[in-house]
Structure 1
């Protein structure tokens, strides 16, 4: 897939959100999109999946089918989880019985089986997010786009996401993921796209591969913002771990 001189805004007189964006992503590759809130990450992802038409530039060789997990999955729909997923699978060309079977398989993997007969508006935020993930995976994607996919997910499903991404790329699919939480920082071989000041650049590994690891300790209520700020500045966050309060106060 090639992104060529893309300019994006939300109206003919609106300010430019992104300008002169040129990137490429080969088959089987993963890109992690970094940047502060409001920098334009979701805008770029919407253009990539085709729901936002660029004012200038173009996107070519977009893999098919495209699977999109938006940042906010719309739960106000009068369907049970099973009926919704079966319908989404049918829209993508699967027979209803095949779509329902695939939905049940993914539900088991994402610990969603007890909720298959529950209507979407009755679900919690994290459970709705699982539905959003499954609907994108009912048909093997040529391009999987994940906009903040970890919001509200439990630890078991968070641990499963990197494996799902690896399975998509192993079959030649490409993946683009934006993750403000920093939970997907260890995706092996992922490219880094940095959004800043209306421009998007690919952050290349340091020459020679040499790195220095610096540990930073912050209070728990600042952890999410700190991770986002570090990644927005181009740093790689290796992991986030909890430390007992007693040990913290003893320092």
Structure 2
């Protein structure tokens, strides 16, 4: 899927929010969308998702199944969590049995089991965001678009997001994700689109990207563990005593 000389403004004669955007995301690829607040990241993601239409240019070869998770899930709807997800599954074209299985799977995976009969306006922001993520995954997406997906989520659910992204990629799908928390460090090998002053600068995946992994070892094994890590070519950044030990 790619954007071909895409321009967008919200009203005739208004300022251009995005201009001359040409970018491509390959099947099985991950793109991290970067930029300061207000730069146009959400607008760009909405264009890719099909929520907005370009004023000029084209979005070409958008996959048939797109999972879209906005930055703030619109929870001002009268449905319960279960009712909303069943309705969204029907919109996706899932039959009743398949829809029921998908709703069960994603409510369990995202810790929503206790909220199935709760109405959407009664949910906290973080729980509503989980519902937004669940609806995007009911039908396995060929393109998953996540706008600040970690915002408001509890730590356990934040830890699930990289795995969900990698599941989509493993099936040959593509993922676009914006992030100002630095969470996308857990998505190594991602390309970047940087939004600034209405333009988008693309950069291929950095195959030399490095990750930081914290490892806990018994104090008696510390020296041996550090030596073995260094022998394997890893850089040991620091050693600290665990709080409470």
Q: TM-score range by the shorter chain?
A: 0.7 to 0.9
Give the Cα separation in 1 of the matches to 2:76 and 2:101.
24
Q: Which residue of 2 aligns with 1:182?
A: 182
Aligned-pair CA distance for 1:53: 1.2
Give the Cα separation in 2 of the matches to 1:91 and 1:65.
11
SS in 2 for 1:185: helix
**Structure 2 contact 77–121 (Cα < 8 Å) conserved:** yes
Per-residue CA deviations over 1:196-241 (Å, capped at 9, x if unaligned) read 11110113467x9498x9xxxxxxxxxxxxxxxxxxxxxxxxxxxx
Matched, 1:118 2:113: no
Matched, 1:33 2:28: no
Give the Cα separation in 2 of the matches to 1:185 and 1:18.
26
Per-residue CA deviations over 1:135-165 (Å, capped at 9, x if unaligned) read 0000000111111111110111111100000
Give the Cα separation in 2 of the matches to 1:69 and 1:204.
24
Give the Cα separation in 2 of the matches to 1:136 and 1:50.
14
Q: Which residue of 2 aligns with 1:227?
A: none
Matched, 1:71 2:62: no
Give the Cα separation in 1 of the matches to 2:172 and 2:189.
14
Q: Which residue of 2 aligns with 1:232?
A: none
Q: Which residue of 1 aligns with 2:232?
A: none
Q: Which residue of 2 aligns with 1:139?
A: 139
**Structure 1 contact 87–96 (Cα < 8 Å) conserved:** no
1:185-196 map, 5 Å: 185-196=185-196
Unaligned runs of 5+ in 2: 213-239, 241-245
Give the Cα separation in 1 of the matches to 2:209 and 2:90.
49
Q: Which residue of 1 aligns with 2:2?
A: 2
Unaligned runs of 5+ in 1: 214-242, 244-251
Matched, 1:17 2:17: yes
SS in 1 for 2:201: strand
1:135-174 map, 5 Å: 135-174=135-174
Q: Return closer, same or farther for 1:20/1:189 CA change in 2, 3 Å cut-off.
A: same
Q: Return closer, same or farther for 1:210/1:113 CA change in 2, 3 Å cut-off.
A: closer
Report the TM-score, using the length of structure 1 for normalisation. 0.80
**Structure 2 contact 191–205 (Cα < 8 Å) conserved:** no
**Structure 1 contact 82–100 (Cα < 8 Å) conserved:** no
Aligned-pair CA distance for 1:99: 1.1
Give the Cα separation in 2 of the matches to 1:186 and 1:210.
11
Give the Cα separation in 1 of the matches to 2:209 and 2:165.
27
Aligned-pair CA distance for 1:102: 1.0
SS in 2 for 1:184: helix
Q: Which residue of 1 aligns with 2:94?
A: 94
Report the TM-score, using the length of structure 2 for normalisation. 0.82
Give the Cα separation in 1 of the matches to 2:161 and 2:138.
15
Aligned-pair CA distance for 1:13: 1.2
